[in-house]
Structure 1
């Protein structure tokens, strides 16, 4: 029987953990076994990437953690601060598409989670201003989505996820559709934001290069049904920047992760 729980920081077994999945499986109504058995532990403040082939269950893992889907079997636990009762305050979700409301401003798009939560106007204004400043969009609060580049739209989506001050940030291939230069810039900005805020980040990607550059750990998933094929810790000097991206150590980690991923593909390049 599936077990989905949100625990407070007082749970002795989860004092250092933000997320724990134990023996989790996910089968859909059409009989497809998407995931599992799957076991994952993510420490508070950790940045991990889930890497694997299409259809291996990466996005399913995020949906289970967010409470948007229930496991078929196993236990999903999400730790959040004492006194937090609404799941939306524990978790922020950034999807692959920005999904912005085109008829309203950047400010109102970012305000939406607070409006749904019933936050007061003064509090909401302050939080929106802070979130927009944190992603470098303070000067674009009055702009409309049609006036923004793809990278800027994704920054708005990130600000909207951060505006409730979540403990955990789930990111489902947020930069996949962007050009390489914009993607590199947003990778750098995301790392700077993570170092400052120390959120727990679980980041889904198809890119070996991106996973190694961003993460403290790269969790390599097998083809469906998704399981953990390898869990690789990226040990390097912080803060990371272009020196790391062009270093021999970075190249070595990319080869290691690529080798771990290779069994999930049939002769295809995984880089």
Structure 2
């Protein structure tokens, strides 16, 4: 399988890749060709073995690297005030500046965009409130727990009021309880802000819990080998984690992922 089903109308598409590949100067073929469409407001996870090109795909979408071939289209932002599309990126590590406050870390994208101070402060306060860090605006990163640092990183991605949120294994280094809590908080933010989320993870369980679709990738060069739609009407909560439906989806995703670790690709 090389593609994921497209949303029915072009207006519904937030991200579209067609025949995209990435070959590094060293000659390593990291990705593709890959065809992928993600609808506006959709939550999609990319799942695959290490080195399969998941992070590369995010970097291409974010404009941090260029495809070697193929086309990549990002929809314009669906709302005012600023024209163009807005993409937020949450990396594997929080990447906070240790010498300045949480408020200043979160406000960095607005500072770089020369947003007026009063407008920036309003946006920063809103982003901190969305991730539950209002009381820690003046704290320094060294005073935060791992989960709180990741919340600050998420607030920094949200402060530009992004339409598209790219997340590269943001919770991988956290303990299980913190990870579950942040999964729940992320879903609540996604619902309230109507963002498009593309989430990279190594965890079958996390991908099923969070996503509307799980896209499984082959080993390098990464291609899409399977798509599993998570059609769960029940709320995503502790009861869902314990349900037979959740276990069934996890089994399906695990079965789809297995060939990537044995060298047999489903095409």
Normalising by structure 2, we get a TM-score of 0.92
Native 8 Å contact 1:187 1:214 kept in 2: yes
Structure 1 residue 251 corresponds to structure 2 residue 240 = no
Specify which of 147, 154, 159 is matched with residue 150 of structure 2: 154
Counterparts of 1:85-100 in structure 2 under 5 Å?
85=83, 90-100=86-96
Secondary structure of the corresponding residue to residue 15 of structure 1: helix
Residue equivalent to 2:159 = 163
Specify which of 105, 111, 121 is matched with residue 109 of structure 1: 105
Native 8 Å contact 1:14 1:79 kept in 2: no
Residue equivalent to 2:257 = 261
For residue 210 of structure 1, report the CA deviation from its aligned partner.
0.2
- Provide, for residues 184-216 of structure 1, a one-character-per-residue CA deviation record: whole Å limited to 9, x for no partner: 110011111111111000000000000000000
Considering only aligned residues, what root-mean-square deviation do their CA atoms show, in Å? 1.5
Structure 1 residue 211 corresponds to structure 2 residue 207 = yes
Residue equivalent to 1:3 = none
How far, CA to CA, are the matches of 2:202 and 2:187 in structure 1?
18
Q: Which runs of 4+ in 1 moved over 6 A?
A: none
Flag the 1:208–1:76 CA change in 2: closer, same or farther, 3 A.
same
- Provide, for residues 236-268 of structure 1, a one-character-per-residue CA deviation record: whole Å limited to 9, x for no partner: 01531111111000000000000000001139x
Residue equivalent to 2:19 = 23
How far, CA to CA, are the matches of 1:86 and 1:193 in structure 2?
22
For residue 13 of structure 1, report the CA deviation from its aligned partner.
6.4
Specify which of 25, 32, 43 is matched with residue 36 of structure 1: 32
For residue 142 of structure 1, report the CA deviation from its aligned partner.
0.6
Native 8 Å contact 2:41 2:197 kept in 1: yes
Normalising by structure 1, we get a TM-score of 0.91
Structure 1 residue 142 corresponds to structure 2 residue 158 = no
How far, CA to CA, are the matches of 1:198 and 1:52 in structure 2?
26
How far, CA to CA, are the matches of 1:239 and 1:158 in structure 2?
23
Size of the alignment, in residue pairs? 254
Specify which of 46, 51, 67 is matched with residue 50 of structure 1: 46
**Unaligned stretches of 5+ residues in structure 2:** 1-7
Specify which of 172, 181, 184 is matched with residue 185 of structure 1: 181
**Unaligned stretches of 5+ residues in structure 1:** 1-11
How far, CA to CA, are the matches of 2:231 and 2:156 in structure 1?
31
How far, CA to CA, are the matches of 1:95 and 1:122 in structure 2?
28
